[in-house]
Structure 1
Amino acid sequence: MFTGIVQSAVKIERIEKKPGLWTLTLVLPQQLIPGLTIGASVALNGTCLTVTSINNQHVTFDVMMASLKLTNLQSLEEGSLVNVERAAKFGDDIGGHQLSGHVHGIVKVVEVERPENNCIVWFELLDKFKPYVFDKGYIGLNGCSLTIAQVKEDRFCVYLIPETLNVTTYQNVQVGDGINLEIDSHTQAVVDTVERLLKQKQLA
């Protein structure tokens, strides 16, 4: 489980590409190393990955074909920044909302507004996500727990404060970027249950 509070934006040090399997190497900040073990879960751009080796601050992760197809990890290059969050521990503060690290798909950035001391990022709203995206709802975007500020027919936006911009990959966000999206699990459960019950009622 993750909280959606990204701890650092970290560069990809090395990518080893094999058929259907990429191995990513990152040099994690020292503060993220204590207690980290092989087999631990870490979210990169909101995608839950498993630590496969640790050598001082050099940490590696394997990315399988399914994750490459579904997430923006497929577009990473050496030097790319990724949002990093270690898995939450019992007793940790949940500053954002509960995220599983299971990405539902990629959405494109369609507009970036930068009024003073703010950053407003607009994303395309795909039909398959429309039932789960509404004003003031929670959403995971590249592993960040964010509140949806406004929804239009084909797009939605979030507001990013300076701290979020400083700590995450959103410091470099541009139109056309593909962003990993994770639907809030509670929202999905409610919406899917209501839709199922309504269909059953119509068929009765």
Structure 2
Amino acid sequence: MFTGIVQGTAEVVAIEEAEAFRTHVVALPEAMRHGLEIGASVAHNGVCLTATAIDGERISFDLMRETLRLTNLGALRVGDRVNIERAARFGDEIGGHAMSGHVMAMAELVELDEAPNNRRLWFELPHALGRFLFDKGYIGVDGISLTIGEVKPATATRGPRFCVNLIPETLARTILVDRVPGDVVNVEIDPQTQAIVETVERVLAARGA
């Protein structure tokens, strides 16, 4: 489990390609690799990956076909940076919201609104996920626990949209500071919201509503 409180960023320093598979290596700062062992879970842009090799600061992670299909990790190149969060431990403070590290889809950044000490980002999601979006609800964006500021329903020509408002601390600690319109981010719907919506839908369907 993760909390969506990104601990920092790490640079991708090597990539090994194979058929429908890749291994990427990141340089983890000392503070983020303390106690790390092979088999440990580490979130990269919100994607739960397993450490497969440790060589000093260079930590390897395998990305299978489904991960490459559903997330933005397959587009990474050497020199890119990713948001990093180590798995939560029992007794840790939960400052964000519970996240599984299972990305549901990617969303495109379609609008960026800059203001002093603030940044508002608007993202567009696939139509099927619009039912999970609520004003002031939780959402994971590239592994960051964020509150939805506003939702715009889908139209005939585009998918549903939502915005998030970022404070300087979030910009300083994450790669969202570098995102520009046209970029895609990984999105994880809040698991509790997902469970409630899908349960209500099943109940209504069973009643013939």
Structure 1 length as normaliser, TM-score?
Answer: 0.98
- Please state if 1:200 is matched with 2:206: yes
- What letter matches 1:156 in structure 2? F
Distance (Å, rounded) in 1 between the aligned partners of 2:120 and 2:9: 19
Distance (Å, rounded) in 2 between the aligned partners of 1:125 and 1:56: 38
SS of equivalent residue, structure 1 residue 106: strand
Match of 2:21 in 1: 21
Match of 2:117 in 1: 117
List aligned pairs for 1:130-169, cutoff 5 A.
130-153=130-153, 154-169=160-175
* Shift in Å, 1:126: 2.4
Distance (Å, rounded) in 1 between the aligned partners of 2:126 and 2:68: 20
Distance (Å, rounded) in 2 between the aligned partners of 1:86 and 1:101: 11
List aligned pairs for 1:34-183, cutoff 5 A.
34-153=34-153, 154-183=160-189
* Shift in Å, 1:56: 1.1
Distance (Å, rounded) in 2 between the aligned partners of 1:32 and 1:25: 15
Superposed CA offset, 1:32-88 (max 9, x none) = 111100000000000000000111111010000110001001110111111000000
Match of 2:191 in 1: 185
* Shift in Å, 1:11: 1.3
Match of 2:157 in 1: none
Aligned residues: 203
SS of equivalent residue, structure 2 residue 101: coil
Is the Cα contact below 8 Å between 2:106 and 2:125 reproduced in 1?
no
Comparing 59-68 with 152-161, which one deviates more in the overlay?
A: 152-161
- What letter matches 1:105 in structure 2? A
SS of equivalent residue, structure 2 residue 201: helix
Distance (Å, rounded) in 1 between the aligned partners of 2:97 and 2:198: 19
* Shift in Å, 1:119: 0.6
SS of equivalent residue, structure 1 residue 94: coil
Gaps of 5+ in 2: 154-159
Distance (Å, rounded) in 2 between the aligned partners of 1:136 and 1:82: 26
* Shift in Å, 1:21: 1.3
Superposed CA offset, 1:95-151 (max 9, x none) = 000000000010100001111100100001321111111100000010000000011
SS of equivalent residue, structure 2 residue 2: coil
* Identity %, equivalent residues: 50
Structure 1 ranges of 4+ moved more than 4 A: none
